[in-house]
A and B are shown apart, each in its own frame.
Chain A
């Protein structure tokens, strides 16, 4: 932790990196915007203590440190309606003055993509200032006979059980993934979080599961070493052009597209793959987004982007980030824009296809 770093070394490092970052940024934006004496509210549409809240509380002090004028940044929780309530409130109230940010999550993107009747916000009205990607690994038990990722084909005609948080939650991604792969997976709903699902795996109640990267490393890796779990594939990451690539945290594991090809013998394409891909993008590479109203002046957005870039060089940030963000880097600018577009748009026919599938196979009636 931070106590291991000498003060002088830390400051030196920070200054060096800060100079590097500052040089690459438009200086005019820095000069014209100042939040001095202001209070910035960072709206989190979730309860305190959860992933999004922890993420915002982790970032807030650094934002405070690196925004021009050092404003007070407070995290305001507006939970409810699976995050639709807070996002609705933000859509109705926020002004384009940079004093209110919204931190969204996959659970905010999904109802929007599915046209949930509770949604009264539109991502088209917002501009992204930062995107925080995440990833995860799907694994199974050796009882299925699978001993390595290449043997995923052995799952083809087995009965699989998955502990799900609900068909319209983030667990829609594994649901669509298994569907696209043609796996015979039964989704048992009502779990409270991924750690809840992992414990069901350890109890032997389910035989396929996924964990986000940092939870996978600390909790599933020991199971893999003890011969009680076998990794299958990572969800993968998106490169700067929005193309699916291997997750840099797990370079030795195939990504979903590769696993799909191994299992089906078909190239990763077609309507079912595309439907999966839309929700995957919203749930992982673009899971957490910081947005402001579209009319927000460019120099304010630039000031935020500069602050987010500058904080990455802070040694305090670096020492604590892995537990909060996993091994992924928060991004701004064109890269964030790519993720934002991937994570908040879906072709109408793909949406209908998913909504029909959910209604037909899982009895999901949105908002009823």
Chain B
């Protein structure tokens, strides 16, 4: 296990590894003792508290470990270490379990770890199979979580040298491997898919450049200095287009008559794909354990793997249960993997882990080598907590799956104001700024158009998530190793994996445009004009980004400029196809052409209009006052409910938002009104 490439002073790690092996017997003893200590009524009670909070914040999109921790911190004082760790682990372990509810039922990614679940989970819900998708997801989550705990048990003692093998060069290759998933997710037209990925790369490089700190594409807005937050991007591209779409139909989310066979079938689905679930758990665990890649790609990589490895009857993007099993197995397993760098090096492998790390420090535990030395008992109580919490969380969610799945039977126009309020609330958790809402709306409009013209949004998201890492690690690798980094063995292995992934990906591609994709898009010149104009607009965005990039120093410019050039090349390929190719060409797509008057669809922009109204109201009156006006207006004018139910629903929504804001000590963004007069909370 000696590292095979030169490392100036890493020699001690190999020795430490060998020395670790005779310790296994002693380690097993510590392991059993840790379990015995943990299994007391008091510790379990605190874990249940953590699990309950974790499940609750997981259900609400945009809230995650960070919000959960601020709810639990007041309890940390005076608690003993084991109880406190059980509680914190209970919190972070189950967030990727319960975030599945909103991903599957509403098409809103419950957290960044569940974005890929939306792709097949939501179509299943719309086919009336929500309970099936949920139960398959929960049992996958449980297996993933247990797998993560198992890996942690086996590897924690020897993980240090393994983690240290991943230098910046290997991390760069890992981001390339992640980007190779674009091949799977590119949809019908590869040129469109790559162009969408470039849009993501460019959005991801807004803000400070990692090498020089120059601020790119900020257009003078303070908000853009830090880039657009992940939550806003995820909700803008996935939640808003779905809401807009559902509002056109005026029906419930589930189209089928029954709720479908319940959770029994979901369990059978999972069992049939148990090896996929195990493989994805392994993937999730590994990606979590490598510090620097971040938790937000793990679901996409697992999803991509599911698509690549499926040979029989793939229906990905249109409700394939394997598209639910894979990411849900991976995202829970990732937490187990992510605990390794968190505890061994103090490097959080994901957002929740940053929070866990903060909690550890508040408890007076400093991460470091001692976690596998003097503090091994702490480490093992963490691992046991992880395993037990995953079982607890999945069990509770399974019990709730059937009743909560009924939400998909509710007429959507009644559900819509709650969902709009929810995603707006979630979006401004990102930086607690009105600009979060504006960015959400702007990206939502782009998302609606991409959906209409068949541009793959997952490819964009992968580009967005990996842009900062790809740029940073490439720059660092060249700084540290010069171009020689390409000959490192780890780099070569990862390069081969990436090539294999691209080849496999091009063979099996996801088509999320679904049944509408069969429409012969654009017979006449007039009919094809909108999609041509959209492609031209994207091309203009690339040109603008290129122009902005060229205004910076070489190191600040090279990444966005290269991306923009690739994007322009793709547009140059795409445009002739859109303009001259015969009808039915794979590049051509416009969902609006499939719309016929007899479907009774409302206008495409109606839903967006309502969201825009809430955002504009917030800018004037502040978010809370705008919400109080938005609810009755929507329910009375759009959903045409009666006065009393409208009043009751408004009151309940107002109450829930108030409770959340109070619990999280949150100030709502200011509107014009607050700039000019002092108002009492929550209006202030």
With both beta carbons as reference points, the residue of chain B lying nearest to A81 in the complex is identified as B225
Contact with B370, one of A188, A218, A323, A364 (Cβ below 8 angstroms): A218
Do the beta carbons of A202 and B475 come within 8 Å of each other? no
Contact with A61, one of B69, B74, B80, B368 (Cβ below 8 angstroms): B74
> Which stretch in B207-215, B242-250, B381-389, B451-459 binds the other chain?
B207-215
| CB neighbours of A365 from chain B (8 A) | 214
What is the bound-complex CA distance between A190 and B556, given in angstroms? 12
Q: Mark B341-366, 1 if CB is under 8 A from A, else 0.
A: 00001111001001101100111111
Minimum Cβ distance to chain B for residue A197 (Å): 10
Do the beta carbons of B167 and A205 come within 8 Å of each other? yes
What is the bound-complex CA distance between A74 and B73, given in angstroms? 11
B273 at the interface (CB under 8 A from A): no
Contact with A74, one of B214, B475, B665 (Cβ below 8 angstroms): B665
B320 at the interface (CB under 8 A from A): no
| CB neighbours of A82 from chain B (8 A) | 225-226
Minimum Cβ distance to chain A for residue B142 (Å): 26
Minimum Cβ distance to chain A for residue B408 (Å): 33
Count how many chain A residues have C-beta atoms less than 8 Å from C-beta atoms of the other chain.
71
Do the beta carbons of A49 and B66 come within 8 Å of each other? yes
B189 at the interface (CB under 8 A from A): no
Do the beta carbons of A166 and B213 come within 8 Å of each other? yes
Which B185-218 residues have a C-beta within 8 angstroms of A?
208, 210-215
A186 at the interface (CB under 8 A from B): yes
Do the beta carbons of B213 and A168 come within 8 Å of each other? yes
What is the bound-complex CA distance between A80 and B226, given in angstroms? 7
Minimum Cβ distance to chain A for residue B239 (Å): 22
A346 at the interface (CB under 8 A from B): no
A267 at the interface (CB under 8 A from B): no
With both beta carbons as reference points, the residue of chain B lying nearest to A117 in the complex is identified as B222
| CB neighbours of B665 from chain A (8 A) | 41, 74-76
Do the beta carbons of B213 and A322 come within 8 Å of each other? no
Q: Mark A63-87, 1 if CB is under 8 A from B, else 0.
A: 0000000000011111111100100
What is the bound-complex CA distance between A193 and B471, given in angstroms? 17
SS of A interface (majority)? mixed
Contact with B369, one of A81, A219, A324 (Cβ below 8 angstroms): A219
A299 at the interface (CB under 8 A from B): no
Do the beta carbons of A188 and B476 come within 8 Å of each other? yes
Do the beta carbons of A48 and B69 come within 8 Å of each other? yes
Contact with B8, one of A41, A143, A223 (Cβ below 8 angstroms): A143
Count how many chain B residues have C-beta atoms less than 8 Å from C-beta atoms of the other chain.
68
B78 at the interface (CB under 8 A from A): yes
A316 at the interface (CB under 8 A from B): yes
Contact with A323, one of B11, B222, B292, B364 (Cβ below 8 angstroms): B364
Do the beta carbons of B66 and A199 come within 8 Å of each other? no
Contact with B345, one of A79, A143, A199 (Cβ below 8 angstroms): A199
With both beta carbons as reference points, the residue of chain B lying nearest to A227 in the complex is identified as B12
B30 at the interface (CB under 8 A from A): no
With both beta carbons as reference points, the residue of chain A lying nearest to B674 in the complex is identified as A93
What is the bound-complex CA distance between A166 and B226, given in angstroms? 14
Do the beta carbons of B210 and A323 come within 8 Å of each other? no
In the complex with contacts A58-B362, A190-B472, A199-B347 CB distance below 8 A: yes
Do the beta carbons of A363 and B553 come within 8 Å of each other? yes
Minimum Cβ distance to chain A for residue B605 (Å): 31
Do the beta carbons of B78 and A76 come within 8 Å of each other? no
Minimum Cβ distance to chain A for residue B303 (Å): 26
B25 at the interface (CB under 8 A from A): no
Do the beta carbons of B215 and A218 come within 8 Å of each other? no
What is the bound-complex CA distance between A196 and B7, given in angstroms? 17
B479 at the interface (CB under 8 A from A): yes
B contact set with A: CB distance below 8 Å:
6-13, 66, 69-70, 73-74, 77-78, 80-81, 163-164, 167-168, 208, 210-215, 222-223, 225-226, 291-292, 345-348, 351, 354-355, 357-358, 361-370, 431-433, 471-472, 475-476, 479-480, 553, 555-556, 665-667
A contact set with B: CB distance below 8 Å:
1-3, 41, 47-50, 53-54, 57-58, 61, 74-82, 85, 118, 141-143, 161, 166-168, 186, 188-190, 192-193, 195-196, 198-200, 202-207, 214-215, 217-219, 222-223, 226-229, 316, 319-320, 322-324, 362-365, 367-368
